[in-house]
Amino acid sequence: MIGRLRAARWSRGYFRKMLINVLLITCVPGFLLGIGMHYSIVGQIERELLSQHEEQMRQHARLVDEQLSYLEISLSHWAYEPLFHERMRSIDYTYNFQDVREINQYLLAMEGSHPLLNSVELYINGLEPWLFSPSYTLQKVGDATQIEQYHTWIQHRGALFWGSMDQDSYNPLMLVHRIPGDGPQPFGLLIATLDEAEVRAMLKTPSTQAGGTALLVDAGTGNIFSASDSEEMAGLESQLAQRLGSGEGNSGSFNLDWGQHNYSVSYVTFDRISSDWIYIHAVPTTAITAPVVFISNSIVYVSMAGLLAAALLSMIVSNRIYSPIGKLVSLLRGEQDHASDHGDEIRFLEEQWNKLQRESSSLQMRMDAQVPLLKEGFLLQLTRGYLRSFSEKEIVERMRLLGWDLEGQHAVVVFCRLSGFPHFDTRITYMDEELLTYAAANIMHELAQARFQQADVINYHDLTLGLLLIVPEDAYYREDLLSLCDETAQVVNRLLRLRLTITISKPTPSMSAVPKLLQEAMEATKYREISDRNQVIELELIDQVTQGNAMRYSFALERELIQALRMGQEDEACRVMEAFYAELTSMPGKESIVLQGMLQLLGSILNAILHSGVNPHEVFQGVNMFERLSQIRETSEMLWWMKREVIKPLAEEMMKRSTGSSKQIVETAIQYMHERYMDPNLSLEGCADYTGTNHYTLSKAFKMYTGSNFVDYLTNLRLEKARELLRSTDLKVYDIAERVGYQNGYFNRLFKKTEGITPKQYREQYWRRSAVTREGI
């Protein structure tokens, strides 16, 4: 091996020139230098290599910690999505296919958001225990052990934690978040299962392939997740986990004899959510010091040969001088054949340097690509108020780390709300809201970047978005900001066919005051005018905005609406409701004026219904209707909500209570139909006259108690009588048709449509079956 390496080196220009120069130097000092280097420097090099190895392991451990932390932050962000709301507890997912589809699409998006994720599942402990997963869409959980495990996690003291579920020989690592994220009574779990192969790949380092191993140990539970699937390393991993699990500090390294090898062990402790995790890396010492051992042996052998000849002494000296380059070449080659000829060493080092530079640039680009996502996540947390416990200094420091320049700067918050949905032909869905908000956010971001150096858009995915501007404290930015708002509104009008309501906060030098400014800007949207146009509201000028505009409230229409509800007349109540809304919005005014009028009307309705003997709390199942109405953003949506969510259930309840004698009327009508079904002139109006009511009341009561309308019930009655006559008599088909009140042609068509065969075929089939039955007997 050494001979081949020397032969290869002789063919390289750099080594040959160096050796010629060394031969001109006295051999004895070179020999002494070689011996001294062997006994004094080799050990130092070994220590340096071990130190470099430990530092590399710490860096890798930090990368592992960052990946796990990113997963925790991502899952926490997902758990607070509006999709995971309290209503999920009461949904019957057997029939709500749209909800199931939306949930699985969102889970699929989560699953593809990070390479470490193998699957993302959602467990709902609602009407029945359901488990959502993109792989099988929806599954009812029937395993009692599995349900017990899920219930244990729901009752966990922390909202986010790491866990695992025993599944025979495979124990996957899971990150679990209770949902809803901010609810006092969680009813479900968001479960992210890590991919075993990807986690192993993350834990592995190049040195673990030389007989080493790497593993994660949960200090709280003792669970081990190893990068190696070798059974030979199981004993070593168990001993390391037992030793370090008892606690030996946050980080460190030591040597451990195991089997026939001495291992260099490095460990770092992570502060995870519910307990400390320890990243342990163990590699044979010989794998780390292999280059040093090779160089040391070369020096010893060449030095001994130098005792025989001065030429060999010179070669030893030159070889030692060459050793730094050889060491670099060996390190860069890794596990490649050291004897292979790669050409001139300097060229080889240059190629490797360029390669490392390219890799470094690629990594830097990937890191730069993640910065916008980190900034967006930080802004969401800041504006939502999740960082209230942070001091001003901590918030400023984080913002500086993410690239903001805050020296001598003020913050301005702009809040935008999309409106104008009546321009659409159909009602928009949750996915439509996502797309429209995303498009508007991109438009504002592009236009804001052209005017301001530090402008970041926050997408709230619910037809609202925010804009955080960092401007110099002495700069006059108002004209640029108003110009930005105007241009953004025009582009949104043209491309999305929507209107923008924009509120602009006051400037503040405190970054911790940003959530308060956003809340004030959001509340200021209540001063939006009803007119279908773009509006800009400045909080500094809010006193001018709030002046004027009295409410036009029609008490006469209110009384008509309440009277229609008391009578259970839903259509009439909806008509009066539309007239009331038209009266309320007939004068130009603010959106808050319309909301005030609707809230007053809702209170009057509930009070009148309560005096009528109906408990609104039972009708609306305990829902706070005033809160629901206050959350609606569009005035047209308020009208639709009042008609569907208030008028419809109250009218139906009043109708039920007003029909106490309806059952007797229906029973009388049914008896009358059984007596007169053969009359071809039998009709709903005739039955209504006979029972002493009108046809509208009888029709609704008939549908309520029989489940079918009058015509369908009469048709089924006549066809049943016809089938009975076909089976029990020899009458002609046209005679039977007349006896049940039909003309012959129409009777044949109706009978075939219902039974699939003609009356004659029905009679023949019945008689054949009867004959076969008698023969069998």
pLDDT of 425-446, one tens digit each? 555 666 777 888 889 889 988 9
Minimal CA–CA distance to 719: which of 690, 759, 688?
759
Give the pairing type, strands 137-140 and 129-133.
antiparallel
**Token duo for residue 360:** 């470094």
Residues 426 and 460 in one domain: yes
**Do 288 and 140 share a structural domain?**
yes
pLDDT at 548: 45
Q: Are residue 494 and residue 572 in the same domain, yes or no? A: no
User: Residues 397, 512: contact at Cβ < 8 Å?
Assistant: no
Residue 325 pLDDT > 80:
no
Q: Is 255 found in the same domain as 192?
A: yes
- Cα separation, 112 vs 127, in Å, equals 29
**Are 88 and 187 spatial neighbours (Cβ–Cβ below 8 Å)?**
yes
Q: What is the DSSP letter of 265?
A: E
- Residue 537 contacts residue 524 (beta carbons within 8 Å): yes
> Does residue 376 form part of some domain?
yes
Neighbouring CB atoms inside 10 A of 527's CB total 18
Where is the domain boundary, 637, 658, 679? 658
Model confidence pLDDT, tens digit, residues 220-274? 666 777 777 676 777 777 777 777 766 666 777 777 777 777 777 888 887 777 6
168: left (phi over 0), alpha (psi -120 to 50) or beta: left
Are 118 and 194 in contact, with CB atoms under 8 Å apart?
yes
Cis ω on the peptide bond leading into residue 172 (within 30° of 0)?
A: no
Q: Is the pLDDT of residue 155 over 70?
A: yes
Q: 500-513: per-residue pLDDT in tens?
A: 888 888 888 888 88
Q: Is residue 726 included in any domain, yes or no? A: yes
590 and 676 assigned to the same domain: no
- Paired tokens of 39: 């006994």
DSSP for residue 391:
-
In the block, tokens 């420091």 appear at 397
Per the omega criterion (within 30 degrees of 0), is the bond before 180 cis? yes
pLDDT of residue 215: 80
CATH code of the domain containing 717: 1.10.10.60
Residue 336 located in a structural domain? no
Examine residue 357 and state whether it is found in any structural domain, yes or no. Answer: no
Those residues whose C-beta lies under 8 Å from the C-beta of residue 357, and which sit 6 or more positions away, are none
> SS3 letters for 106-117?
HHHHHHCCCCCE
470/379 Cα distance (integer angstroms)? 13
Whether 755 is in a domain gets the answer: yes
**How many domains are there within the chain?**
4
Q: What is the pLDDT of residue 538?
A: 83
13 pLDDT more than 60 = no
Which of 508, 543, 578 is the last residue in one of the domains?
A: 543
Place of tokens 């051999």: 27
Q: Given a cut of 70, is residue 309 above it in pLDDT? A: no
Q: Is the CB of residue 150 less than 8 Å from the CB of residue 141?
A: yes
Residues whose CB falls within 8 Å of the CB of residue 248, separated by 6 or more in sequence, listed in order: 267
Assess whether 566 and 510 both reside in one domain.
no
Residue 38 has pLDDT above 70, yes or no: no
Task: Write the CB contacts of 666 (distance below 8 Å, at least 6 apart in sequence).
Answer: 698, 701, 702, 705, 706
Residue 468 has pLDDT above 60, yes or no: yes
CATH of the domain at 425: 3.30.70.270
741: its two tokens: 């009140």
Domain with 717, as residue range(s), is 662-776
* Amino acid of residue 112: G
- Mean pLDDT (the chain) is 77
Q: What was the pLDDT predicted at 293?
A: 60
Q: Are residues 57 and 145 in the same domain?
A: yes
Helix axes 591-611, 570-584, angle to 10 degrees: 150
Same domain, 205 and 313: yes
The answer to whether residue 354 sits within a structural domain is no
Residue 485: its H or E element: helix 478-496
Tens-place pLDDT, residues 527-567 = 776 666 788 888 777 644 444 445 566 666 777 787 777 66
